[in-house]
C-alpha cells in the first residue's frame, strides 16, 4: 500500500500552477499513523524539507517502510539520503517553460538536485498545463537524462494559487492525448497519470480543515 502525507503548504517557491492549499498535518498524528502502515510512504507538501521530514523518514525506516520524498530540490542538501529510497523531482517543460512556470533558475536547481541524489532511485512529476502540453518529448528527454525510473503526469487543476492562473487549464481530452504520447515514447519508464490530485488512488493524509489540525 502507498500512503501519502501532505505535510502542509509551506514552501520556498511560488509556482504559478501551485495547487497546494492544505493546512499543516499535526506531528503526533503523522507519527501515530506511520506506526499503522506497511509498504511505502511518500512525504510531500508544500516543500517537505521545510517540515520535520528527516524525523519522519527516520521513524518510517525504523518501521521497515519504503520511503519517498517529493521535493522541489532547493533544499536537497538538507535531506538525509540514507533514509530515502526514492527522491521525486519536478520537470515541467524545457528550461524556459519550466522556469516560467516555477521560477528563474529552478530548472538548473532540479538538475543539481538530481545529481546530488543520483545514488537513489529518482522519479519525476510534471504538471501538465496549457503551456507545456506540447513539450512531452522535451520533458521526456530530461526525465530520461537524469535517470528517473518513473514519471507521473498531473492534470493542472485551478486550485490553490492555480486559481489565479485558470488560463493554464487543459481539457480532459488534451490531457489524455498527452498521457498517451508520453506512454508511447517513454517505454523504458513507468508512466502514471493523475487526473485529479484530490482523488489519488493512494491513502492520502491531508489537512483540509483548520479544526482537523487541532482535533486529530
Ligand atoms: S508547486 Fe510545489 S514547489 Fe511550487 S509552490 Fe507549490 S508546493 Fe511549492
For the whole model, what pTM was predicted? 0.94
CA dist., res. 186 & res. 188, Å (int): 5
pLDDT at 69: 98
> In the numeric block, which cell numbers belong to residue 206?
491531508
Alpha-helical (H) ranges within the chain are 27-34, 53-62, 95-101, 106-116, 136-145, 172-185, 210-215
The residue whose CB lies within 8 Å of the most ligand 1 atoms, and thus the one to mutate among 23, 47, 126, is: 47
**Is a pLDDT exceeding 60 seen at residue 92?**
yes
Given strand 190-194, what is the order of strands in its sheet? Answer: 190-194, 150-155, 121-128, 86-90, 66-70, 40-44, 2-6, 203-205
* Cβ of 18 less than 6 Å from ligand 1: yes
Q: In angstroms, what is the span from residue 45 Cα to ligand 1's centroid?
A: 8
**Is a pLDDT exceeding 60 seen at residue 212?**
no
Q: How confident is the model at residue 200 (pLDDT cuts 50, 70, 90)?
A: confident
Q: How confident is the model at residue 210 (pLDDT cuts 50, 70, 90)?
A: low
**Is a pLDDT exceeding 90 seen at residue 201?**
no
Digit-coded pLDDT (tens) for 161-199: 999 999 999 999 999 999 999 999 999 999 999 999 888
Digit-coded pLDDT (tens) for 3-39: 999 999 999 999 999 999 999 999 999 999 999 999 9
* Cβ of 47 less than 6 Å from ligand 1: yes
The closest residue, in CA terms, to atom 6 on ligand 1 is 18
Q: What is the mean pLDDT of residues 53-76?
A: 98
CA dist., res. 70 & res. 84, Å (int): 11
Domain boundaries along the sequence of the chain = 2-208
CATH class of the domain at 2-208 = alpha beta
DSSP type of residue 189: S
Q: In angstroms, what is the span from residue 55 Cα to ligand 1's centroid?
A: 21
Digit-coded pLDDT (tens) for 127-172: 999 999 999 999 999 999 999 999 999 999 999 999 999 999 999 9
Task: Please choose, from the candidates 31, 89, 74, the residue with its C-alpha nearest in 3D space to the C-alpha of residue 55.
Answer: 31
pLDDT at 25: 98
CA dist., res. 99 & res. 207, Å (int): 29
Q: Which of 98-102, 122-126, 127-131, 201-205 has the lowest mean pLDDT?
A: 201-205
pLDDT at 215: 32
pLDDT at 192: 96
CA dist., res. 203 & res. 206, Å (int): 10
Q: In angstroms, what is the span from residue 15 Cα to ligand 1's centroid?
A: 5
Q: What is the mean pLDDT of residues 191-210?
A: 88
The residue whose CB lies within 8 Å of the most ligand 1 atoms, and thus the one to mutate among 45, 53, 89, 162, is: 45
* Cβ of 72 less than 6 Å from ligand 1: yes
pLDDT at 197: 82
Amino acid at each position: 500500500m502507498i500512503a501519502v502525507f501532505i505535510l502542509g503548504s509551506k514552501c520556498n517557491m511560488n509556482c504559478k500552477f501551485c495547487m497546494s492549499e492544505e493546512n499543516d498535518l499535526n506531528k503526533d498524528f503523522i507519527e501515530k499513523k506511520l506506526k499503522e502502515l506497511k509498504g511505502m510512504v511518500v512525504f510531500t507538501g508544500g516543500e517537505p524539507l521545510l517540515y520535520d521530514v528527516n524525523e519522519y523518514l527516520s521513524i518510517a525506516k525504523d518501521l521497515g517502510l519504503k520511503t519517498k520524498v517529493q521535493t522541489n530540490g532547493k533544499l536537497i542538501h538538507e535531506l538525509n539520503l540514507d533514509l530515502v529510497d526514492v527522491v521525486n523531482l519536478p520537470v515541467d517543460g524545457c528550461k524556459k517553460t519550466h522556469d516560467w512556470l516555477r521560477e528563474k533558475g529552478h530548472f538548473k536547481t532540479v538538475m543539481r538536485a538530481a545529481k546530488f541524489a543520483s545514488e537513489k532511485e529518482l522519479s519525476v512529476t510534471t504538471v501538465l498545463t496549457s503551456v507545456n502540453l506540447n513539450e512531452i518529448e522535451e520533458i521526456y528527454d530530461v526525465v530520461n537524462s537524469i535517470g528517473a525510473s518513473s514519471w507521473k503526469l498531473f492534470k493542472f487543476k485551478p486550485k490553490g494559487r492555480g486559481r489565479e492562473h485558470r488560463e493554464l487549464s487543459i481539457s480532459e481530452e488534451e490531457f489524455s492525448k498527452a498521457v498517451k504520447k508520453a506512454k508511447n515514447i517513454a517505454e523504458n519508464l513507468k508512466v502514471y497519470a493523475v487526473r485529479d490530485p484530490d482523488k489519488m488512488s493512494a491513502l492520502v493524509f491531508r489537512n483540509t480543515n483548520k479544526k482537523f489540525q487541532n482535533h486529530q
